[in-house]
A = this chain, B = another copy of it.
Protein backbone atom coordinates (compact mmCIF):
# COMPACT_ATOMS: atom_id res chain seq x y z
CA UNK A 1 0.00 0.00 0.00
CA UNK A 2 1.49 3.31 -1.06
CA UNK A 3 2.10 6.09 1.37
CA UNK A 4 -0.78 8.49 0.97
CA UNK A 5 -3.31 5.92 -0.14
CA UNK A 6 -6.42 4.78 1.64
CA UNK A 7 -7.91 1.37 2.12
CA UNK A 8 -10.64 0.53 -0.37
CA UNK A 9 -13.37 -1.68 1.05
CA UNK A 10 -17.13 -1.75 0.62
CA UNK A 11 -18.89 -1.74 3.96
CA UNK A 12 -21.73 -4.28 4.10
CA UNK A 13 -24.09 -1.68 5.61
CA UNK A 14 -23.31 1.15 3.24
CA UNK A 15 -26.19 3.51 2.40
CA UNK A 16 -28.38 2.01 5.14
CA UNK A 17 -28.36 5.34 7.05
CA UNK A 18 -26.51 6.01 10.28
CA UNK A 19 -29.33 4.91 12.55
CA UNK A 20 -28.86 1.53 14.22
CA UNK A 21 -32.59 0.76 14.23
CA UNK A 22 -32.93 1.48 10.52
CA UNK A 23 -29.71 -0.33 9.62
CA UNK A 24 -30.94 -3.50 11.32
CA UNK A 25 -34.18 -3.65 9.33
CA UNK A 26 -32.56 -2.45 6.09
CA UNK A 27 -29.99 -5.24 6.39
CA UNK A 28 -32.70 -7.85 6.87
CA UNK A 29 -34.63 -6.60 3.85
CA UNK A 30 -31.51 -6.29 1.72
CA UNK A 31 -30.44 -9.84 2.54
CA UNK A 32 -33.66 -11.13 1.09
CA UNK A 33 -33.39 -9.32 -2.27
CA UNK A 34 -29.70 -8.70 -2.90
CA UNK A 35 -29.27 -11.85 -4.99
CA UNK A 36 -32.31 -11.33 -7.20
CA UNK A 37 -31.33 -11.17 -10.89
CA UNK A 38 -30.77 -7.78 -12.47
CA UNK A 39 -33.47 -6.55 -14.82
CA UNK A 40 -32.15 -3.61 -16.85
CA UNK A 41 -35.02 -2.47 -19.04
CA UNK A 42 -33.61 0.90 -20.12
CA UNK A 43 -29.99 1.59 -20.99
CA UNK A 44 -27.43 2.43 -23.59
CA UNK A 45 -25.05 -0.49 -23.74
CA UNK A 46 -23.77 -1.47 -27.18
CA UNK A 47 -25.58 -4.49 -28.67
CA UNK A 48 -22.33 -5.38 -30.44
CA UNK A 49 -20.87 -6.45 -27.09
CA UNK A 50 -23.55 -9.06 -26.58
CA UNK A 51 -23.35 -10.30 -30.15
CA UNK A 52 -19.59 -10.37 -30.73
CA UNK A 53 -18.62 -11.02 -27.10
CA UNK A 54 -15.19 -9.47 -27.50
CA UNK A 55 -13.01 -8.12 -24.73
CA UNK A 56 -13.10 -4.45 -23.78
CA UNK A 57 -10.08 -2.17 -24.35
CA UNK A 58 -7.93 -0.39 -21.76
CA UNK A 59 -8.93 1.37 -18.54
CA UNK A 60 -9.13 4.85 -20.07
CA UNK A 61 -11.20 3.55 -22.96
CA UNK A 62 -13.63 1.91 -20.56
CA UNK A 63 -13.95 4.30 -17.63
CA UNK A 64 -13.05 7.74 -18.87
CA UNK A 65 -13.93 8.30 -22.48
CA UNK A 66 -17.51 7.03 -22.55
CA UNK A 67 -18.61 8.30 -19.13
CA UNK A 68 -19.70 11.92 -19.31
CA UNK A 69 -20.51 11.91 -15.58
CA UNK A 70 -16.79 11.38 -15.04
CA UNK A 71 -15.24 13.75 -17.55
CA UNK A 72 -17.74 16.58 -16.93
CA UNK A 73 -16.55 16.74 -13.33
CA UNK A 74 -12.90 16.80 -14.40
CA UNK A 75 -13.72 19.46 -17.00
CA UNK A 76 -15.52 21.58 -14.39
CA UNK A 77 -12.21 21.89 -12.57
CA UNK A 78 -10.32 23.13 -15.59
CA UNK A 79 -8.97 19.89 -17.04
CA UNK A 80 -9.00 19.88 -20.83
CA UNK A 81 -11.14 17.28 -22.58
CA UNK A 82 -8.39 16.72 -25.12
CA UNK A 83 -6.03 15.71 -22.33
CA UNK A 84 -8.54 13.06 -21.29
CA UNK A 85 -8.64 11.65 -24.79
CA UNK A 86 -12.20 12.81 -25.49
CA UNK A 87 -12.45 12.92 -29.29
CA UNK A 88 -13.30 16.17 -31.07
CA UNK A 89 -16.26 14.85 -33.06
CA UNK A 90 -17.79 18.29 -33.53
CA UNK A 91 -18.02 20.16 -36.82
CA UNK A 92 -15.14 22.43 -35.90
CA UNK A 93 -13.26 19.68 -34.08
CA UNK A 94 -9.87 18.21 -34.88
CA UNK A 95 -10.27 14.48 -34.38
CA UNK A 96 -6.53 13.86 -34.58
CA UNK A 97 -5.84 16.08 -31.55
CA UNK A 98 -7.55 13.74 -29.15
CA UNK A 99 -6.37 10.56 -30.77
CA UNK A 100 -2.88 11.70 -29.93
CA UNK A 101 -3.69 11.67 -26.19
CA UNK A 102 -1.78 9.03 -24.30
CA UNK A 103 -4.31 6.85 -22.39
CA UNK A 104 -1.91 6.31 -19.49
CA UNK A 105 -1.45 10.07 -19.10
CA UNK A 106 -5.20 10.58 -19.23
CA UNK A 107 -5.60 7.94 -16.55
CA UNK A 108 -2.98 9.66 -14.40
CA UNK A 109 -4.86 12.96 -14.69
CA UNK A 110 -8.02 11.18 -13.62
CA UNK A 111 -6.27 9.59 -10.62
CA UNK A 112 -4.66 12.90 -9.63
CA UNK A 113 -8.15 14.41 -9.40
CA UNK A 114 -10.00 11.48 -7.95
CA UNK A 115 -10.79 13.51 -4.81
CA UNK A 116 -13.29 15.53 -6.88
CA UNK A 117 -15.64 12.57 -6.85
CA UNK A 118 -15.99 12.40 -3.06
CA UNK A 119 -19.67 12.19 -2.18
CA UNK A 120 -20.80 11.79 -5.80
CA UNK A 121 -22.49 8.73 -7.32
CA UNK A 122 -19.65 8.47 -9.85
CA UNK A 123 -17.18 8.13 -7.01
CA UNK A 124 -19.37 5.51 -5.39
CA UNK A 125 -19.79 3.47 -8.58
CA UNK A 126 -16.11 3.69 -9.46
CA UNK A 127 -15.00 2.54 -6.03
CA UNK A 128 -17.53 -0.29 -6.23
CA UNK A 129 -16.25 -1.46 -9.59
CA UNK A 130 -12.58 -1.11 -8.62
CA UNK A 131 -13.17 -3.14 -5.47
CA UNK A 132 -15.86 -5.61 -6.46
CA UNK A 133 -15.06 -6.26 -10.11
CA UNK A 134 -11.27 -5.80 -10.19
CA UNK A 135 -10.40 -6.64 -6.61
CA UNK A 136 -8.45 -3.50 -5.69
CA UNK A 137 -7.90 -2.98 -1.97
CA UNK A 138 -6.58 0.56 -1.99
CA UNK A 139 -8.29 3.65 -3.34
CA UNK A 140 -7.22 5.11 -6.66
CA UNK A 141 -4.70 7.94 -6.15
CA UNK A 142 -1.78 9.59 -7.90
CA UNK A 143 0.70 7.03 -6.59
CA UNK A 144 -1.08 3.91 -7.68
CA UNK A 145 -2.57 5.25 -10.91
CA UNK A 146 -0.32 3.34 -13.31
CA UNK A 147 -0.61 0.19 -11.26
CA UNK A 148 -4.39 0.51 -11.50
CA UNK A 149 -4.20 1.14 -15.22
CA UNK A 150 -2.05 -1.89 -15.91
CA UNK A 151 -4.05 -4.17 -13.64
CA UNK A 152 -7.40 -3.15 -15.12
CA UNK A 153 -6.14 -3.38 -18.67
CA UNK A 154 -4.69 -6.81 -18.00
CA UNK A 155 -7.87 -8.15 -16.42
CA UNK A 156 -9.97 -6.74 -19.25
CA UNK A 157 -8.09 -9.01 -21.66
CA UNK A 158 -9.07 -12.21 -19.86
CA UNK A 159 -11.98 -14.50 -20.81
CA UNK A 160 -13.68 -13.71 -17.49
CA UNK A 161 -14.12 -10.15 -18.73
CA UNK A 162 -15.86 -10.95 -21.98
CA UNK A 163 -19.42 -9.53 -22.05
CA UNK A 164 -21.21 -12.86 -21.77
CA UNK A 165 -19.07 -13.94 -18.82
CA UNK A 166 -19.72 -10.61 -17.13
CA UNK A 167 -23.47 -10.90 -17.72
CA UNK A 168 -23.44 -14.19 -15.86
CA UNK A 169 -21.15 -12.93 -13.14
CA UNK A 170 -23.34 -9.83 -12.71
CA UNK A 171 -26.50 -11.96 -12.65
CA UNK A 172 -28.09 -9.91 -15.43
CA UNK A 173 -31.25 -11.74 -16.42
CA UNK A 174 -32.38 -9.15 -18.91
CA UNK A 175 -31.00 -6.03 -20.55
CA UNK A 176 -32.53 -3.68 -23.10
CA UNK A 177 -30.46 -1.48 -25.40
CA UNK A 178 -31.80 1.54 -27.26
CA UNK A 179 -31.70 1.99 -31.02
CA UNK A 180 -32.88 4.72 -33.36
CA UNK A 181 -35.81 4.12 -35.70
CA UNK A 182 -33.56 3.63 -38.72
CA UNK A 183 -31.23 1.11 -37.07
CA UNK A 184 -30.99 -2.26 -38.83
CA UNK A 185 -30.71 -4.11 -35.50
CA UNK A 186 -27.86 -6.13 -36.95
CA UNK A 187 -26.61 -7.36 -33.60
CA UNK A 188 -30.03 -8.08 -32.20
CA UNK A 189 -30.87 -10.13 -35.30
CA UNK A 190 -27.59 -11.98 -35.07
CA UNK A 191 -28.38 -13.34 -31.60
CA UNK A 192 -31.98 -14.17 -32.52
CA UNK A 193 -31.52 -17.92 -32.30
CA UNK A 194 -29.04 -17.95 -29.44
CA UNK A 195 -29.69 -18.13 -25.69
CA UNK A 196 -28.82 -14.40 -25.60
CA UNK A 197 -32.06 -13.60 -27.42
CA UNK A 198 -34.07 -13.87 -24.22
CA UNK A 199 -31.66 -11.72 -22.32
CA UNK A 200 -30.84 -8.90 -24.74
CA UNK A 201 -33.48 -6.86 -26.56
CA UNK A 202 -33.74 -3.45 -28.19
CA UNK A 203 -36.00 -0.45 -27.49
CA UNK A 204 -37.52 1.69 -30.22
CA UNK A 205 -36.33 5.29 -30.01
CA UNK A 206 -37.78 7.33 -32.86
CA UNK A 207 -36.42 10.78 -31.88
CA UNK A 208 -34.41 10.95 -35.09
CA UNK A 209 -37.55 10.72 -37.25
CA UNK A 210 -39.93 12.82 -35.11
CA UNK A 211 -37.75 15.73 -34.07
CA UNK A 212 -37.89 18.28 -36.89
CA UNK A 213 -35.33 20.49 -35.18
CA UNK A 214 -32.54 18.07 -36.05
CA UNK A 215 -30.39 18.89 -39.05
CA UNK A 216 -30.88 15.34 -40.33
CA UNK A 217 -34.66 15.19 -39.87
CA UNK A 218 -35.65 15.53 -43.55
CA UNK A 219 -33.02 13.07 -44.57
CA UNK A 220 -34.09 10.64 -41.85
CA UNK A 221 -37.73 10.74 -42.92
CA UNK A 222 -36.62 10.04 -46.47
CA UNK A 223 -34.60 7.04 -45.29
CA UNK A 224 -37.57 5.90 -43.23
CA UNK A 225 -39.57 5.78 -46.45
CA UNK A 226 -36.87 3.86 -48.28
CA UNK A 227 -36.49 1.27 -45.54
CA UNK A 228 -40.21 0.67 -45.13
CA UNK A 229 -41.41 1.15 -48.67
CA UNK A 230 -43.95 3.71 -47.46
CA UNK A 231 -44.52 7.15 -48.92
CA UNK A 232 -43.16 9.25 -46.07
CA UNK A 233 -43.91 12.42 -47.94
CA UNK A 234 -47.49 12.10 -46.74
CA UNK A 235 -48.62 12.20 -43.14
CA UNK A 236 -50.40 8.88 -43.36
CA UNK A 237 -47.50 7.22 -45.12
CA UNK A 238 -45.15 8.60 -42.52
CA UNK A 239 -47.24 7.22 -39.65
CA UNK A 240 -47.53 3.91 -41.46
CA UNK A 241 -43.77 3.78 -41.87
CA UNK A 242 -43.32 4.30 -38.14
CA UNK A 243 -45.76 1.45 -37.49
CA UNK A 244 -43.71 -0.77 -39.81
CA UNK A 245 -40.52 0.04 -37.93
CA UNK A 246 -42.18 -0.65 -34.57
CA UNK A 247 -43.24 -4.06 -35.86
CA UNK A 248 -39.68 -4.65 -37.07
CA UNK A 249 -38.27 -3.74 -33.65
CA UNK A 250 -40.72 -6.16 -32.04
CA UNK A 251 -40.01 -9.11 -34.31
CA UNK A 252 -36.30 -8.56 -35.01
CA UNK A 253 -35.22 -6.93 -31.77
CA UNK A 254 -37.78 -8.37 -29.36
CA UNK A 255 -38.58 -4.82 -28.20
CA UNK A 256 -41.17 -4.40 -25.46
CA UNK A 257 -40.79 -0.64 -25.10
CA UNK A 258 -40.26 2.65 -26.87
CA UNK A 259 -38.21 5.58 -25.63
CA UNK A 260 -38.80 9.30 -26.21
CA UNK A 261 -36.31 11.97 -25.19
CA UNK A 262 -38.17 15.22 -25.83
CA UNK A 263 -37.16 18.67 -24.57
CA UNK A 264 -40.57 19.05 -22.89
CA UNK A 265 -43.53 16.83 -22.07
CA UNK A 266 -45.81 18.70 -24.48
CA UNK A 267 -48.43 16.61 -26.23
CA UNK A 268 -51.02 17.69 -28.78
CA UNK A 269 -54.17 16.37 -30.38
CA UNK A 270 -54.55 18.22 -33.68
CA UNK A 271 -57.07 17.65 -36.44
CA UNK A 272 -55.99 15.52 -39.37
CA UNK A 273 -55.76 18.58 -41.59
CA UNK A 274 -53.56 20.38 -39.08
CA UNK A 275 -51.34 17.33 -38.75
CA UNK A 276 -50.92 17.13 -42.48
CA UNK A 277 -49.99 20.76 -42.92
CA UNK A 278 -47.69 20.76 -39.90
CA UNK A 279 -45.90 17.67 -41.23
CA UNK A 280 -45.55 19.27 -44.65
CA UNK A 281 -44.10 22.39 -43.04
CA UNK A 282 -41.58 20.36 -41.05
CA UNK A 283 -40.64 18.36 -44.11
CA UNK A 284 -40.12 21.56 -46.09
CA UNK A 285 -37.35 22.62 -43.72
CA UNK A 286 -39.23 25.87 -43.09
CA UNK A 287 -40.65 25.07 -39.66
CA UNK A 288 -39.89 27.31 -36.70
CA UNK A 289 -39.18 26.21 -33.12
CA UNK A 290 -42.81 26.40 -32.03
CA UNK A 291 -43.93 24.25 -34.94
CA UNK A 292 -41.19 21.71 -34.26
CA UNK A 293 -42.29 21.56 -30.64
CA UNK A 294 -45.90 21.12 -31.61
CA UNK A 295 -44.94 18.41 -34.07
CA UNK A 296 -43.06 16.46 -31.41
CA UNK A 297 -46.10 16.89 -29.15
CA UNK A 298 -48.48 15.57 -31.79
CA UNK A 299 -46.18 12.63 -32.41
CA UNK A 300 -46.21 11.66 -28.74
CA UNK A 301 -49.98 11.35 -28.98
CA UNK A 302 -49.73 9.39 -32.23
CA UNK A 303 -47.14 7.10 -30.68
CA UNK A 304 -49.38 6.54 -27.66
CA UNK A 305 -52.09 5.43 -30.06
CA UNK A 306 -49.65 3.02 -31.71
CA UNK A 307 -48.66 1.69 -28.29
CA UNK A 308 -52.27 0.77 -27.65
CA UNK A 309 -52.27 -1.11 -30.96
CA UNK A 310 -48.97 -2.99 -30.65
CA UNK A 311 -48.49 -3.11 -26.89
CA UNK A 312 -45.09 -1.40 -26.68
CA UNK A 313 -44.58 0.32 -23.34
CA UNK A 314 -43.94 4.02 -23.83
CA UNK A 315 -41.08 5.68 -21.97
CA UNK A 316 -41.09 9.49 -21.97
CA UNK A 317 -38.16 11.40 -20.47
CA UNK A 318 -38.46 15.12 -21.02
CA UNK A 319 -36.65 18.09 -19.58
CA UNK A 320 -33.06 18.14 -20.87
CA UNK A 321 -31.60 21.22 -22.47
CA UNK A 322 -29.20 19.43 -24.82
CA UNK A 323 -25.72 20.67 -25.69
CA UNK A 324 -25.87 23.75 -23.50
CA UNK A 325 -22.20 24.59 -24.01
CA UNK A 326 -21.99 25.89 -27.58
CA UNK A 327 -18.18 25.81 -28.04
CA UNK A 328 -17.97 22.27 -26.66
CA UNK A 329 -20.72 21.22 -29.06
CA UNK A 330 -18.95 22.86 -31.99
CA UNK A 331 -15.65 21.13 -31.25
CA UNK A 332 -16.59 17.90 -29.48
CA UNK A 333 -20.19 17.26 -30.60
CA UNK A 334 -23.09 15.73 -28.67
CA UNK A 335 -23.11 13.89 -25.33
CA UNK A 336 -20.20 15.66 -23.72
CA UNK A 337 -21.74 16.22 -20.31
CA UNK A 338 -23.29 19.51 -21.43
CA UNK A 339 -26.95 18.54 -21.16
CA UNK A 340 -28.54 20.54 -18.37
CA UNK A 341 -31.99 19.83 -16.93
CA UNK A 342 -34.58 22.55 -17.20
CA UNK A 343 -37.90 23.18 -15.58
CA UNK A 344 -40.56 20.82 -16.86
CA UNK A 345 -44.33 21.08 -16.73
CA UNK A 346 -46.53 17.97 -16.94
CA UNK A 347 -50.07 18.86 -15.93
CA UNK A 348 -51.00 20.94 -18.96
CA UNK A 349 -48.42 19.36 -21.26
CA UNK A 350 -49.75 15.81 -20.97
CA UNK A 351 -53.43 16.72 -20.96
CA UNK A 352 -54.10 16.30 -24.71
CA UNK A 353 -52.58 12.82 -24.76
CA UNK A 354 -54.19 11.78 -21.48
CA UNK A 355 -57.61 13.12 -22.43
CA UNK A 356 -57.47 11.06 -25.58
CA UNK A 357 -55.87 7.85 -24.38
CA UNK A 358 -55.11 8.16 -20.65
CA UNK A 359 -57.95 5.90 -19.50
CA UNK A 360 -57.27 3.16 -22.06
CA UNK A 361 -56.49 -0.18 -20.38
CA UNK A 362 -53.87 -1.08 -22.99
CA UNK A 363 -51.76 2.05 -22.70
CA UNK A 364 -48.63 1.96 -20.53
CA UNK A 365 -46.59 5.11 -20.15
CA UNK A 366 -43.52 5.41 -17.94
CA UNK A 367 -42.63 9.00 -17.11
CA UNK A 368 -39.08 9.97 -16.19
CA UNK A 369 -38.10 13.30 -14.73
CA UNK A 370 -35.04 15.47 -14.37
CA UNK A 371 -37.01 18.08 -12.46
CA UNK A 372 -37.62 16.69 -9.02
CA UNK A 373 -39.71 19.71 -8.03
CA UNK A 374 -42.52 18.01 -9.95
CA UNK A 375 -42.39 14.74 -7.98
CA UNK A 376 -44.92 15.63 -5.32
CA UNK A 377 -46.73 18.41 -7.17
CA UNK A 378 -47.42 16.85 -10.57
CA UNK A 379 -45.99 13.40 -11.19
CA UNK A 380 -47.19 11.53 -8.11
CA UNK A 381 -50.72 12.99 -8.36
CA UNK A 382 -50.91 12.11 -12.07
CA UNK A 383 -49.57 8.57 -11.58
CA UNK A 384 -51.81 8.12 -8.54
CA UNK A 385 -54.83 8.65 -10.76
CA UNK A 386 -54.32 7.72 -14.43
CA UNK A 387 -54.28 3.96 -15.02
CA UNK A 388 -51.97 4.41 -18.02
CA UNK A 389 -49.23 6.28 -16.12
CA UNK A 390 -46.37 4.95 -14.03
CA UNK A 391 -43.34 6.78 -12.66
CA UNK A 392 -39.90 5.85 -13.83
CA UNK A 393 -37.12 5.84 -11.22
CA UNK A 394 -35.01 8.78 -10.05
CA UNK A 395 -33.18 9.57 -13.25
CA UNK A 396 -29.80 10.82 -14.44
CA UNK A 397 -28.49 13.37 -11.92
CA UNK A 398 -30.95 11.87 -9.43
CA UNK A 399 -29.67 8.33 -10.00
CA UNK A 400 -27.81 8.67 -6.70
CA UNK A 401 -28.34 7.77 -3.04
CA UNK A 402 -29.86 11.10 -1.97
CA UNK A 403 -31.69 11.47 -5.28
CA UNK A 404 -33.36 8.08 -4.95
CA UNK A 405 -34.31 8.71 -1.35
CA UNK A 406 -35.96 12.02 -2.27
CA UNK A 407 -37.82 10.25 -5.06
CA UNK A 408 -39.38 7.76 -2.63
CA UNK A 409 -39.99 10.40 0.04
CA UNK A 410 -41.78 12.69 -2.40
CA UNK A 411 -43.75 10.21 -4.52
CA UNK A 412 -44.81 7.34 -2.26
CA UNK A 413 -47.43 9.06 -0.17
CA UNK A 414 -49.44 10.12 -3.24
CA UNK A 415 -48.59 7.53 -5.90
CA UNK A 416 -47.89 4.55 -3.65
CA UNK A 417 -45.27 1.97 -4.57
CA UNK A 418 -47.28 0.15 -7.19
CA UNK A 419 -47.38 3.09 -9.58
CA UNK A 420 -43.58 2.96 -9.86
CA UNK A 421 -41.54 0.58 -11.97
CA UNK A 422 -38.36 -0.41 -10.15
CA UNK A 423 -34.92 0.74 -11.17
CA UNK A 424 -33.35 1.70 -14.52
CA UNK A 425 -29.60 2.08 -14.83
CA UNK A 426 -29.81 4.06 -18.11
CA UNK A 427 -26.10 3.58 -18.61
CA UNK A 428 -23.52 2.70 -21.23
CA UNK A 429 -21.00 1.93 -18.45
CA UNK A 430 -21.49 -1.83 -18.49
CA UNK A 431 -19.19 -2.61 -15.59
CA UNK A 432 -21.05 -0.27 -13.27
CA UNK A 433 -24.44 -1.92 -13.78
CA UNK A 434 -24.31 -4.16 -10.68
CA UNK A 435 -23.13 -1.26 -8.51
CA UNK A 436 -25.94 0.95 -9.77
CA UNK A 437 -28.65 -1.61 -9.17
CA UNK A 438 -27.12 -2.32 -5.78
CA UNK A 439 -27.43 1.37 -4.82
CA UNK A 440 -31.12 1.32 -5.74
CA UNK A 441 -31.70 -1.83 -3.71
CA UNK A 442 -29.89 -0.43 -0.70
CA UNK A 443 -31.70 2.91 -0.79
CA UNK A 444 -35.09 1.24 -1.24
CA UNK A 445 -34.38 -1.07 1.70
CA UNK A 446 -33.36 1.91 3.78
CA UNK A 447 -36.53 3.78 2.86
CA UNK A 448 -38.69 0.75 3.65
CA UNK A 449 -36.79 0.25 6.92
CA UNK A 450 -37.63 3.81 7.93
CA UNK A 451 -41.31 3.16 7.27
CA UNK A 452 -41.04 0.04 9.43
CA UNK A 453 -39.23 1.77 12.29
CA UNK A 454 -41.81 4.55 12.14
CA UNK A 455 -44.52 1.87 12.30
CA UNK A 456 -46.03 2.97 8.99
CA UNK A 457 -45.74 -0.46 7.39
CA UNK A 458 -45.11 -3.88 8.96
CA UNK A 459 -42.05 -5.98 8.24
CA UNK A 460 -43.99 -8.52 6.18
CA UNK A 461 -45.22 -5.75 3.88
CA UNK A 462 -41.69 -4.36 3.70
CA UNK A 463 -40.35 -7.70 2.48
CA UNK A 464 -43.00 -7.93 -0.21
CA UNK A 465 -42.29 -4.32 -1.28
CA UNK A 466 -38.52 -4.90 -1.38
CA UNK A 467 -39.16 -7.75 -3.79
CA UNK A 468 -41.56 -5.70 -5.89
CA UNK A 469 -39.23 -2.68 -6.11
CA UNK A 470 -36.30 -4.89 -7.10
CA UNK A 471 -37.87 -7.41 -9.40
CA UNK A 472 -41.65 -7.69 -9.51
CA UNK A 473 -42.71 -4.24 -10.65
CA UNK A 474 -40.09 -3.85 -13.37
CA UNK A 475 -41.00 -7.15 -14.98
CA UNK A 476 -44.67 -6.27 -14.95
CA UNK A 477 -44.21 -2.68 -16.14
CA UNK A 478 -42.04 -3.65 -19.10
CA UNK A 479 -44.15 -6.74 -19.87
CA UNK A 480 -41.30 -9.18 -19.27
CA UNK A 481 -43.21 -11.71 -17.24
Interface residues of A (CB under 8 A from B): 6-7, 10-11, 13-22, 72-73, 75-78, 115-121, 124, 139, 321, 324-328, 337-338, 340-343, 345, 347-348, 351, 354-355, 358-359, 361, 370-373, 376-378, 380-387, 389, 397-398, 400-403, 409-410, 412-419, 449-451, 453-458, 460-461, 464-465
Contacts and interface: CB of A to CB of B under 8 A. Distances in A.
B377 A343 contact: yes
Given A76-B419, A397-B414, 10 more contacts: A14-B456, A119-B412, A119-B413, A121-B413, A321-B347, A326-B351, A328-B359, A342-B377, A372-B376, A401-B413
Nearest to A387: B78
Contacts of A401: 413, 454, 456
A455 B419 CA distance: 31
A107 B392 CA distance: 31
Contacts of A376: 372, 397-398, 403
A377 B373 contact: yes
B342 A321 contact: no
Contacts of A78: 361, 387
A416 B321 contact: no
14 contacts: A15-B454, A78-B361, A118-B416, A119-B416, A321-B348, A325-B354, A325-B358, A325-B359, A326-B355, A342-B345, A342-B377, A380-B397, A381-B397, A401-B454
B455 A11 contact: yes
A400 B413 CA distance: 7
Nearest to A113: B418
A327 B22 CA distance: 44
B450 A18 contact: yes
Nearest to A11: B455
The 7 A-B residue pairs whose C-beta atoms are closest, nearest first, are A18-B453, A14-B455, A11-B455, A326-B355, A400-B413, A18-B21, A373-B373
A343 B340 contact: no
Given A78-B361, A387-B78, A119 B417 contact: yes
A449 to B, nearest CB: 8
Nearest to A379: B340
Nearest to A74: B387
Contacts of A465: 118-119
